[in-house]
Chains A and B, each alone.
Chain A
Amino acid sequence: MTIVVSEDDDEADYSPFTFLRSSAKGDVLNVSHDYRYQKMGYYVSMHAELCGNAVTPRCADILDTHRNPLLMTRAARAGIPCLPYRLVSQHDRNVALPALCFAVNPYTCNSVTEVKSESRMVRTMKSLSINNRYPVSVQPLIGDVREAVQVFGETAVPEARAIARRFFEEFRVPIGKLIVQIVDGEARLSHFEPVQRREVDWGLVRDRVRELARAQ
């Protein structure tokens, strides 16, 4: 297995940009804190696919996690507890409040917005839809909103551990931030976002990568 890590790591075979100029053969593990489209983490997986290799994570899975309706549809099908969502493309008085809103536009990556009033909803819709150009995913806000950074299916947030494990089993994205709502003590998935480099426990990442390298 070829290992590509976005941070310095002794177990890594390539840095991301060096990998793009290679013709690696065989399975590829691509470890990055940011897999957004048009970013290096995405292109490493794309290059592995172009070379005809099996890669973790796959580009289709990356994009599914980064587009809220696709994430929610697929996660629900996989049996992951999820909040229902509605796509709204302009302000709609029938949307129940309070609500949790997420952008489905090409520009916003940290868009989690709690909306508790009608006036705030008008402003949020205008902003996240970029003046009604793009849809917005709207979910009921019925629990405590938590952020859980998951690394290979593990997270430090106790209530989100089961979801993190199942998320990784389904989507195989090694690092990312899960937005969950804790409803009656149970976590339900709301969203996924890339993490900041400083939010990642790189020691844990190195341990997991080392274990995977030794297992080969």
Chain B
Amino acid sequence: MKIGCFVEKYCFHLKDEAQALELFKATAEARGYGFEFIYKQDLDRIPEFDAIFIRANTDPMNTAYVVSRLADSLGLVVIDDPHSIRTCSSKVVLDGLFKQNGIPSPKSLLFDGDYGPENLEHVFRYLGFPLVVKAPYTKFSSHVEKAHDPAEFREISARYLKNATPIVLQEFMPTPFDWRVGVLDNEVLYLCKYLMPRGGWKIRSVVDGRQVWGDTVPIFRRNIPKRLEQLAIRVSRCVGDGLYGLDVKEVDGQYYVIEINDNPSFYHGQEDAKDRDLYEKIVDRLASGRPVRPGSYRVNEGLPY
């Protein structure tokens, strides 16, 4: 069993992330598997491997998607699989996914640049101010901004519409933290709280002109609230049985899904701080010979959450 781990140089820039990558390698080797980091110049070597684990940023326009699709077309086990990347990489797609499946999430609208007074009145009345403007390709809280009035909305939305149409508008839902639920094979893998930094409203915020990240509070997965677990599993089933990280807000005891991410981050000492077996579980899934099964997008199981 040879596992190829697709990375880019930036994956090793942060110490905690590099340590997590080394732990994946050590875990695989302790189980008797080969584990090799591969880069963009190694794409021709994909057929040499039995499984591909993608750790570089995924997006249908990134090299990682080409790697995923090539591996998938060869019948290899690949995490993240191309279906999951296509689904999770765009906030517009997730907006549709949540609506089609009745997943509780903040009120939202798609916006294609119709600045007519009738449409704007509808948008502002439905979402209120401040409202959140999201480019479809947001990662790590980038390209997500808050508009406090119509003029600011016009400025931000016009900027985002230059690169993508439509974009997502969302009601502002302030919370002190987001739940991060790691899911593998439609089961909870790890659990964290991603705290908002002091003075910020996103996990990565600009406070007093400086970019700051909120802290991570790891929690044993066995302590996950039941309804949060059911919701996370239900959402993951819409996408597939791969590896995901869900961001969920809790307001007055109700859960609202913000997004489901393929390619969730792993920083040693954070996501792995409580359930340290996550490395074994992911490596075993890669070595299982069982390709990730895409979800059907629509899950009509009527599960409670």
Chain A contacts to B: CB under 8 angstroms: 17, 20-21, 23, 37-40, 43, 46-47, 49-52, 59-60, 63-64, 67, 69-70, 73-74, 86-87, 89-90, 104-106, 134-135
CB distance from A97 to the nearest CB of B (A): 20
A46 to B297, CA, bound (A): 10
Q: What are 12 contact pairs spanning A and B, CB under 8 A?
A: A20-B96, A23-B100, A38-B61, A38-B165, A46-B93, A50-B297, A50-B298, A64-B69, A67-B66, A70-B73, A74-B73, A135-B40
**Residues in A neighbouring B66, C-beta threshold 8 A:** 67, 69-70, 104, 135
A86's closest neighbor in chain B, by CB?
B44
State whether B298 touches A52 (Cβ < 8 A). Answer: yes
CB distance from A101 to the nearest CB of B (A): 16
State whether B296 touches A38 (Cβ < 8 A). Answer: no
State whether B40 touches A89 (Cβ < 8 A). Answer: yes
A74 to B69, CA, bound (A): 11
**Residues in A neighbouring B73, C-beta threshold 8 A:** 70, 73-74
CB distance from B72 to the nearest CB of A (A): 10
**Residues in B neighbouring A46, C-beta threshold 8 A:** 86, 90, 92-93, 96
A89 to B92, CA, bound (A): 31
Question: Which are the 8 A-B pairs with shortest beta-carbon distances?
Answer: A106-B61, A38-B164, A50-B96, A89-B41, A52-B298, A17-B112, A89-B40, A37-B60
**Residues in B neighbouring A37, C-beta threshold 8 A:** 60-61
State whether A63 touches B65 (Cβ < 8 A). Answer: yes
CB distance from A25 to the nearest CB of B (A): 12
**Residues in A neighbouring B240, C-beta threshold 8 A:** none
Q: Residue B104 at the A interface, CB < 8 A?
A: no
Chain B residues 147 to 161 lying within 8 A of chain A, measured CB to CB, are none
B101's closest neighbor in chain A, by CB?
A50
A70 to B86, CA, bound (A): 15
State whether B93 touches A50 (Cβ < 8 A). Answer: yes
CB distance from A58 to the nearest CB of B (A): 10
A64 to B82, CA, bound (A): 11
**Residues in B neighbouring A20, C-beta threshold 8 A:** 96, 110, 166
Chain B residues 105 to 136 lying within 8 A of chain A, measured CB to CB, are 110, 112, 136
**Residues in A neighbouring B110, C-beta threshold 8 A:** 17, 20-21
**Residues in A neighbouring B100, C-beta threshold 8 A:** 23, 50-52
In this complex, the member of A17, A49, A60, A134 whose beta carbon has the largest number of chain B beta carbons within 10 angstroms is: A49
